[in-house]
Chain A
Amino acid sequence: MTEPMVSLRGLYKIFGTRDKEVLHYVQGGMGKEELLAEHKHVLGLNDINVDMQAGEITVVMGLSGSGKSTLIRHLNRLIEPTAGEIIVQGEDVMKLSEDGLRKARQEKMSMVFQKFALLPHKTVLKNAGMPLSVRSHDEIDCDKEAQKWLDRVGLSGFENHYPAQLSGGMQQRVGIARALTANTDIMLMDEAFSALDPLIRTDMQDLLLELQKELHKTIIFITHDLDEALKLADHLVILKDGYVVQQGEPQHILLNPSDPYIEDFVSDINRARVLRVRSIMTPLDGGKVPEGAHGELDYDDTLETMIAKSGGDTSHAYLVTRNGTPVGTLEMTSLVKALVPRVASEAGARQY
């Protein structure tokens, strides 16, 4: 297994003045509410261990107050942890000097914010070029690079507008262009699309996936929206009250929720749209290609596609292919079973 791009080891964050003193209570198993009641300290993060692989989108999901925004701010140390290690590209961020940290923020990690956080007195072009001008690149260079990424996110022609003149979606495009101009391997996205209306949000998600196909950045994406999480995630981390409830491949979490909390979460979503054929098919495992299939499906098709193909006929069965090679079969009956949310079973809950 390759070295993860970002790796969090035993990360704790307690908000309060005596955080180091009360840490051992938390390590001894004290919960969030107890800590607040007895020691007046707020537990932000509780023993986080996450590996984020290069070129993947890692989505951290949780409700408000679950610590997800706190978590992402630890990666570039906008928030100082109480204890733990933050290793980015093999280097411990905690051991960096002030200058080293600033350099890391400039060259290794860029960030996109929920409320855009653009400079209101600068034009779109200057905003997008900001990460380079901070590194004292000359102006022509900044503008050229900024222009390239503004074009890429579909904002050609708006260079000389001010942020206040743009809609929310366009402002966030500037935010993304700004992060891309920084040309860093890691992109931190803190609820980047949460402030946008649903249609624009879908557009932005598509834009992000499209960019990702091309650029292969390591993206850490924070959201409270499960649909968004499932759409974007290569690796999904679910947070609750500051600890990781479950993490892994999204399809797997969906089919094997390990906790009533997650069961609750996943029962609300449109499973047919999210689950993919590959997750529930019966693999061929080198066996004979069965005859009498009603059609072929791609490995990465959603169940929705399959339902549409069958026209609702539950007696159909399909052949699943990957790059044209048959890899499995899937019957409509097993599809219907997969659509019913399951109660987490001890055996099915595979922990990572």
Chain B
Amino acid sequence: MAFYDKLFNALGLGDWCGETGADAPLSMADLMAQTDGAEATGSFFPFPSLDNLNESCSSIIQSRDVTKGIETGFLAAKPALKTFLDPITQPLSWLLDGALWLFELTPWFIMVPLLVAISYWASRSKPVTIFVFVSIMLLGLVDHYDVAMQTLSIIFVCTTISVMLGVPIGIAMSKSDRLQKSTVPILDLLQTLPTFVYLIPLIFLFSVTESKLYGIAIILYAIVPVIRLTDLGIRLVDQDVIEAANAFGMNSRQKLLRVQLPLALPNIMAGINQTIMMSLAMVVIASLVSAPGLGVNVLRGIRNLELGVGIVAGIGIVLLAVILDRVSKAALTRVDMTRVKH
């Protein structure tokens, strides 16, 4: 006799409920109680959860049906999703594989000077450039050059795509309050959802052998800051200057290209910096789904309890992170400086 029997009878729902759920699948609590050899009694006043209600009324679903429902729902939608998503995400696989191939093919004596040159061009700062050079040489010294380049190629592709998608989305959000209101919860969700949770549906949708699987996971996670800060940056543009642009008859395209984007650039750059950092964070977790690079070594360290391997790879990631952060921050300050240089 379950606790909620009387309630259903009192509500006159006895008939709808039918037989008491003797033939229903056992709940986990029941199973535990059985193995203990005792009858499942439950507490004096159990929480009206689905499982407890089901004991009194078999017409009510059990909690396991909820998770099962989500699963069957997702699996049912999978073919449709796959036919839709597969073709449009295929270029991402090509890009990731292509970049990987290119980064691995380029010999180190070309790649290292190239990276140093890019750092100098972006940051115009000698200390930063020297730091980049020393770090890459250190990574190479402990034979981590190849894996570091793999990681770098993934970040390069994912950040580029994030910026290319994120900036237009941010611009659209800044133009429409309604769009902003509806997008912000999605961005919040993407940012707070535990990183592993991204992977679960993606594994169902795509094969683990496809590089777009980790590409999508990284982009979904890393695109958020660049969207947010583009939106914010454009909204923060001095209203007086916008008014002047209007007063001299600029159309919205001219306003965007000549006023809003240039003035929002420091904020957008800050967003790009964050995007790079977040894709680096995700690239490690993505090694769980066959993303190559330093993350693989970290994973090996965990799986095989190879302390040294894990820690060296970890330090390699830190070095890479600092390189990317310093270079992009220096570029940011340079952009900002052009407004107040003397």
Binding partners A and B: yes
Residues of A participating in the B interface, judged by any CB pair closer than 8 Å: 76, 78, 102-107, 109-111, 113, 115-121, 130-131, 134-135, 162, 164-165, 178, 182, 188
Return the chain A residue nearest B251 by Cβ: A102
Given A164-B340, A165-B342: A117 touches B240 (CB 8 Å cut-off) = yes
Per-position 1/0 for B248-280, Cβ under 8 A of A: 111100100011001100000000000000000
CB atoms of B259 and A110 under 8 A apart: no
A273–B291 CA distance with the chains assembled, in angstroms: 82
Number of chain B residues whose Cβ lies closer than 8 Å to a Cβ of chain A: 21
Given A105-B248, A113-B247, 12 new contacts (CB under 8 A): A78-B243, A102-B250, A103-B249, A107-B249, A110-B248, A113-B243, A117-B241, A117-B243, A119-B241, A119-B258, A121-B338, A165-B341
A119 to chain B, nearest CB (A): 7
A130–B247 CA distance with the chains assembled, in angstroms: 12
A105–B249 CA distance with the chains assembled, in angstroms: 5
| Majority SS at the chain A contact face | mixed
A58 to chain B, nearest CB (A): 18
Which of B241, B246, B262 interacts with A78 by CB under 8 Å?
Answer: B246
A131–B254 CA distance with the chains assembled, in angstroms: 12
Which of B243, B262, B341 counts the most A-chain CB atoms under 10 A from its CB? B243
Residues of B with C-beta under 8 A to A116: 240
CB atoms of A102 and B249 under 8 A apart: yes
Which of B244, B262, B339 counts the most A-chain CB atoms under 10 A from its CB? B244
Query: CB of B306 within 8 A of chain A?
Result: no
Query: CB of B238 within 8 A of chain A?
Result: yes
Return the chain B residue nearest A126 by Cβ: B258
CB atoms of B341 and A182 under 8 A apart: no
Residues of B with C-beta under 8 A to A164: 339-340
Which of B246, B250, B263 interacts with A120 by CB under 8 Å?
Answer: B263
A113–B263 CA distance with the chains assembled, in angstroms: 19
Residues of B with C-beta under 8 A to A178: 248
CB atoms of A113 and B248 under 8 A apart: no
CB atoms of A119 and B259 under 8 A apart: yes
CB atoms of B247 and A78 under 8 A apart: yes
Residues of B with C-beta under 8 A to A78: 243, 246-247
Residues of A with C-beta under 8 A to B340: 162, 164
Given A115-B240, A117-B238: A106 touches B341 (CB 8 Å cut-off) = no
